[in-house]
Amino acid sequence: MSKKVSPIPRGYRTATPCLTVNGVDSAVAFYQAAFGAELQTRHAGADESVAVHATIKIGNSIIALNQEAPEQGALSPLAINGSASQTHLYVDDVDASWNRAVEAGAGIRTPLFDAYWGDRTGVLVDTNGHLWSLASKIENLSKDEIASRAKAQIAPIEGIATELEYLDQAYLAEVPVLEETVAA
């Protein structure tokens, strides 16, 4: 009799981001230096010296890295001169994590700031052109407090107040506000 195989491998969540990079080994080295990533798996190509796929673990999340393959339409952000997505990391100390990533070679897309929704956050660009938003929760706010702060911060920008009202009605009405607490 064979053992039952788990349909989701140990350590994985239901969804796993897969980033296309130009140079899997150099990307792993960057993520280790920038975000404290741990290498989980590494798969080499035909010549055994160059990785074509790897998985890393940042905090409790696994991220897959795939080598760019233009002939298959798999392009890194560097190849398309932009990024269609970003990976969001919640960390214990966003300032320390930010500084570590910048020292490792990340570029600053949006500097760190205290956001109206209660996070300290900013956006970095990694050495392969992928966007990473880093954040730490700094305040627990109600939906009304978030809406009030958003209107106060963004309303002075022409045309945004109307759009915010639309977005609030269309999307935010169904989003619950979650309070985050630290276990004692």
Q: Which residue in this structure is represented by tokens 């954040």?
A: 135
Structure tokens at 164: 């915010």
Tens digits of residue pLDDT in 95-120: 999 999 999 999 999 999 999 999 99
Domain regions of the chain by residue span: 18-137, 143-174
- pLDDT confidence of 151, banded at 50, 70, 90? confident
**Pick from 61, 77, 63: nearest CA to 28:** 63
> Of 39, 19, 49, whose CA–CA distance to 125 is shortest?
19
Contact 70, 79 (CB under 8 A): yes
In the prediction, which pLDDT does 182 show? 59
Do residues 53 and 68 touch, judged by C-beta distance below 8 A? Answer: no
Q: Which CATH number fits domain 18-137: 3.10.180.10, 3.20.20.450, 3.40.50.720, 3.40.50.2300?
A: 3.10.180.10
pLDDT tens figures, 54-65: 999 999 999 999
